[in-house]
Chain A
């Protein structure tokens, strides 16, 4: 029997998800023994037209990392969807929008303005901004069109499974490959991670969740055995799915929420906001104002990895 075919693709992402696949170290050889990799732009020299030439549904497993924020990424998402039997949103950007999803606080015009015209380190006297079509002496050049809104992969094409994480942890990648190889994949729609919250899986000492001040991690020397929230450091563990192996917490950094909402939660940011406001022990107006001032950037803190996946999805656009 021929080996199953696997494709990997990166859209709006940093490349960390691809590196996470390589982080399987010697197990990458097991993966290579198990499957034939037919498309992997970061590592192998296959082109889009090679994928286009494949028969529909001829790829068995597709790991798609990165959010979708331009026309090229959208096109390849659709292409790979047509060619793949099982498509997996791989990593936080693909699942929830990830860090690039914070661009949903602005829009295309705003991004181009800041990046190409206003950034203090720029020297752009001709005020050049990227265009989808540019005429040069040799002919016409094309660039993909940047979208106003960053999308999750599922907002573009149907996806069978979600493997969150920034990047996905190696043990979950191997678990996924193993589930696939042994034919034990869960029902479609499943998130390949834990069904508990990150907080639930954390083994730091938790006593009484009552705080009167929020501090940023660099402002205090935190106790590495004690719950971050109880020390006043915002930790998104209560509103985040577990299964990550506590990589951040073990490195003495609070959870930033990369595993997305736990089961039963639709909007991760709203839940985290709710949890934080609950434990902050002030009842007078002055105290409430202090809380509001101490949470410097609510959207960036509570939706760090999930703005496109949230209920509001993006900042309001006042367009016709």
Chain B
């Protein structure tokens, strides 16, 4: 048994493109690391920054948000909202000492099973390098 660190990544995938993309990866038997726990949301625009912070607070080592490619959103512009929120959230989290590589936004369409697998592989390795996320709250006083 190797004792390398296995990161735990929470993936918020939009129902219309990215979740189907992940499904395609599964039905096509594309191999990708089992480090991701997928949560299906209706749209990447539904991903409240509170969800991302909650995932970190509950012990996730990384958070992946996937949505439809720009222009393809089922709800016309939900993914554009994600495209603005996630980078701004990254800036805020970096002020809180959370590395940028722990949060990632990717566009994955329903036909991109291979791409989804690549993204998960890539992110798993990236987070593995960053090591376990310990928020390690309060220092001397909880």
**Residues in A lying within 8 Å of B, measured CB to CB:** 74, 105, 107-108, 145, 147-149, 151, 155, 265-267, 269-271, 273-274, 276-278, 280, 282-283, 288-289, 291-292, 295, 297-299, 302, 310-319
Q: Check A288 against B87 for contact (C-beta < 8 Å).
A: yes
- Chain A residues closer than 8 Å to B96, beta-carbon distance: 105, 299, 312, 314-316
Q: Check B54 against A147 for contact (C-beta < 8 Å).
A: no
In whole angstroms, what is the CA distance A207 to B50 when docked?
27
In whole angstroms, what is the CA distance A148 to B138 when docked?
7
In whole angstroms, what is the CA distance A32 to B55 when docked?
49
Q: How far is the CB of A83 from chain B (nearest CB, A)?
A: 23
Instruction: Kindly state whether residue B28 has any CB partner on chain A within 8 Å.
Output: no
Instruction: Kindly state whether residue B31 has any CB partner on chain A within 8 Å.
Output: no
| Given A273-B88, A278-B84, A317 and B48 contact (CB-CB distance below 8 Å) | no
Q: How far is the CB of B94 from chain A (nearest CB, A)?
A: 9
In whole angstroms, what is the CA distance A270 to B42 when docked?
20
* B89 to A, closest residue via Cβ: A273
CB pairs A–B below 8 angstroms (16 shown)? A105-B96, A145-B140, A149-B142, A267-B50, A270-B49, A274-B48, A274-B50, A278-B81, A278-B84, A288-B84, A292-B88, A302-B92, A312-B53, A316-B134, A316-B135, A318-B97
| Given A266-B50, A312-B56, A273 and B139 contact (CB-CB distance below 8 Å) | no
| Given A283-B80, A298-B91, A313 and B138 contact (CB-CB distance below 8 Å) | yes
**Residues in B lying within 8 Å of A, measured CB to CB:** 48-50, 52-54, 56-57, 70, 77, 80-81, 83-85, 87-89, 91-92, 95-98, 134-142
* A276 to B, closest residue via Cβ: B88
Point out the residue from B49, B92, B139 that lies within 8 Å of A107, measured CB to CB: B139
Q: Check B139 against A277 for contact (C-beta < 8 Å).
A: no
Q: How far is the CB of B71 from chain A (nearest CB, A)?
A: 9
Q: Check B92 against A315 for contact (C-beta < 8 Å).
A: no
Chain A to chain B: the 5 pairs with minimum beta-carbon distance, closest first:
A148-B139, A316-B97, A298-B92, A270-B49, A277-B84
| Given A277-B88, A283-B83, A292-B87, A298 and B140 contact (CB-CB distance below 8 Å) | no
In whole angstroms, what is the CA distance A145 to B139 when docked?
13
In whole angstroms, what is the CA distance A147 to B139 when docked?
8
In whole angstroms, what is the CA distance A311 to B85 when docked?
18
- Chain A residues closer than 8 Å to B91, beta-carbon distance: 292, 295, 298
- Chain B residues closer than 8 Å to A108, beta-carbon distance: 139-140
Known: A274-B85, A283-B80, A292-B87. 18 other contacts (CB 8 A): A108-B140, A147-B138, A155-B142, A267-B50, A270-B49, A270-B52, A270-B89, A273-B88, A274-B48, A277-B88, A291-B84, A292-B91, A295-B91, A298-B95, A299-B92, A312-B135, A314-B137, A317-B97
Q: Check A317 against B84 for contact (C-beta < 8 Å).
A: no
- Chain A residues closer than 8 Å to B70, beta-carbon distance: 283
- Chain B residues closer than 8 Å to A271, beta-carbon distance: 48-50
- Chain A residues closer than 8 Å to B49, beta-carbon distance: 267, 270-271, 273-274
In whole angstroms, what is the CA distance A108 to B138 when docked?
11
Point out the residue from B48, B84, B89, B95 that lies within 8 Å of A280, measured CB to CB: B84
**Which has the most chain B C-beta neighbours within 10 Å: A108, A149, A155?**
A149
| Given A270-B50, A273-B92, A312-B53, A149 and B84 contact (CB-CB distance below 8 Å) | no
- Chain B residues closer than 8 Å to A282, beta-carbon distance: 84
- Chain B residues closer than 8 Å to A297, beta-carbon distance: 95
- Chain B residues closer than 8 Å to A316, beta-carbon distance: 96-98, 134-136
In whole angstroms, what is the CA distance A155 to B138 when docked?
11
* B45 to A, closest residue via Cβ: A278
* B54 to A, closest residue via Cβ: A311
In whole angstroms, what is the CA distance A107 to B136 when docked?
13
Q: Check B92 against A149 for contact (C-beta < 8 Å).
A: no
Q: Check B84 against A319 for contact (C-beta < 8 Å).
A: no
